[in-house]
Amino acid sequence: MRRRLAIGLMIFLTLLGASAAVTTGVIAEGTRWEMAWRVHESGQPGPTVLVVGGVHGNEPAGASAAGQIQHWPVKRGRLIVVPRANGPGLKDGTRFLPGVALKTRDLNRDFQKTDSKDGPIGEPAQALWKFVSGHKPDWLIDLHEGTDFHQINGKSVGSSIIDVHSKASGVAVPLMLKAVNAAVSEPKKKFVRLRYPVDGSLARAAHERLGAHAMICETTSKNQPRSQRARQHRLMVHALLTHLQMAQAGPHVLVGKDDFRVAIYDAGGVGGNGPRNVDRVLAGHAVVRRVGAADVRDGVLEQFHLAVFPGGSGSKQAKALAPAGRKAVQNFVRSGGGFAGICAGSYLAAANYEWSLGLSNHKTFCKSVDIPKVGRKSMWYRGPSATVQMELTDAGRKILGDKKGAFDVRYHNGPIMSPMGKAGLGAFQPLAHFRSEVSRYEPQKGTMTGTPAIISGHYGKGRVLCISPHPESSPALYELVRRGLFWAGNKK
């Protein structure tokens, strides 16, 4: 068996005389199916647990969760994680292996079938199987997503654990269900136990050929942000590791000690493509994780340099965070974390609402005015997405790049920002001004041109960046946004 152990990182600890180590490498190296892996060796006897994500490219939460779980230390046994089994599919957002013939394109049907004498089919399944069988896992957890809640729509396996019903999994699976269901309030959306992993799946082959206690954990993508789905995967895997006496830390370790770590809030109050666009802005420049309100309340921001709150509704984001989440964001920034708000996130950071975070010393133009023949209207609303012009200030050019003159940017009801003058909070600095405007109602005319489009400030030890328009939705402005985020996160 040819297994290339490209060791990217080795950390040795001494635990009761035994050596713990983290090793990393790549499966199918040099092919288009490359899959990074990471092994946490505790140095103590115990089970081998292998976690796989991203077998289906249109089920990104499994890859997200596995990408987080790969940073979990273990106190006994061995934890092996392959976060992105179908990298090209994840990149394209396709279930199948891109460019592969109909018969073999579903990676989770390419492993050895129950009645077959043939091994796995196709390069990625063969390479992954070599790796998996070489490690002889006691447990194999494959992280997937269904499109609907199984208890509501029996055609989907969403929100279930599909396991082999071995004696050991008969003990573990109920514990995993209990852990994940504790945070699911609607009875019909709770996870249920199903049988049996489909023929040709990695889980079934791992059970039948290797004797592993194997299972497929399915979240539900319908109306649930990715952060929530990945959190559910984490809760299930962590419950298993706790049961096996392997877990060394809690279930919400999301990152390692990578250079620049960014949390993008994607839960209640976030709309449109904001998180995806920020992903694109930072691709290759930062380790990015989606986080939800429950994650924020659990203190995950402390693991990051920067928190980004994208477009949607600032008041709804505040509501989803709840007082405990809002306090967690404030504490994070006060102690040196960075905050970047885009559109709604800049309402959230403002100082003029009772629900806003007061991280930035600005208020927003939001009074309600009686409009003849229309009625009473709040002035924040200026209509559908539109293109306006903005221009950087001298201070802005230092942070955001040497861009001269006015240029186009997408605008969609971002805040019209002006000084709040709140005591104890330093003044903000304009980094850009609007050079044109959009308006829906007469009293809005002339209130936008010349006002700050991007501002910077400080809150405690942290930096705060507020962007009213949507430069993150224009590839031509990715670099400008990236520079702003680097500044806010104090990237060295």
Give CA–CA dist 99/191, Å, rounded: 34
Phi then psi for 203, rounded to 5 degrees? -65, -45
Among 56, 84, 305, 382, binds Zn ion (CB under 5 A): 56
Minimal distance, residue 87 CB to Zn ion, in Å: 15
Cβ 56 to Zn ion, closest distance in Å? 4
Ranges of H-type helices in 339-442:
344-348, 394-400
Q: Which amino acid is at 278?
A: V
For the stretch 115-118, contacts whose Cβ atoms lie closer than 8 Å and that sit 24 or more positions apart, written own/partner, are: none
Residue whose CB is less far from Zn ion, 56 or 190: 56
Least distance (Å) between residue 113 CB and Zn ion: 17
Q: Please choose, from the candidates 354, 353, 228, the residue with its C-alpha nearest in 3D space to the C-alpha of residue 298.
A: 228
Asked whether the beta carbons of 414 and 452 are under 8 A apart, the reply is no
18 CB neighbour count, 10 Å cutoff:
13
464 neighbors 488 (Cβ within 8 angstroms): yes
Piece in contact with Zn ion (CB under 5 A), picked from 54-62, 85-93, 312-320, 357-365? 54-62
Closer residue to Zn ion in complex, CB, 8/93: 93
Interface with Zn ion includes 78 (CB under 5 A)?
no
109 scored as a contact of Zn ion (CB under 5 A): no
CA distances from 419 to 151, 351, 382 (A): 51, 9, 21
In the bound state with Zn ion, the residue whose beta carbon lies nearer, of 121 and 286, is 121
Q: Does 144 bind Zn ion (CB under 5 A)?
A: yes
70: nearest Cα among 3, 155, 143: 143
Nearer to Zn ion, 59 or 295 (CB): 59
Stretch that binds Zn ion, among 25-33, 58-66, 72-80, 127-135 (CB under 5 A): 58-66
Judged by CB under 5 A, the stretch of 53-61, 84-92, 447-455, 484-492 that binds Zn ion is: 53-61
Long-range contacts of 272-276 (CB under 8 A, 24+ apart): 272/311, 272/312, 273/473, 274/310, 274/311, 274/312, 274/342, 274/343, 274/470, 274/472, 275/226, 275/310
If the CB atoms of residues 41 and 142 are measured against Zn ion, the closer one turns out to be: 142
Nearer to Zn ion, 60 or 345 (CB): 60
Size of the site for Zn ion (CB under 5 A): 3
Provide, rounded to whole angstroms, the least separation between the CB of residue 334 and Zn ion: 42
CA dihedral of residues 265, 240, 199, 206 (deg, nearest 10): 120
Considering the complex, what minimum distance in angstroms separates the CB of residue 34 from Zn ion? Answer: 20
Q: Which is nearer to Zn ion, 74 or 215 (CB)?
A: 215
Instruction: Tell which positions 247-286 bind Zn ion, by CB under 5 A.
Output: none
- Tell me how far, at minimum, the Cβ of 90 lies from Zn ion, in Å: 12
CA 419 – CA 153 distance, rounded (Å) = 51
Footprint of Zn ion (CB under 5 A): 56, 59, 144
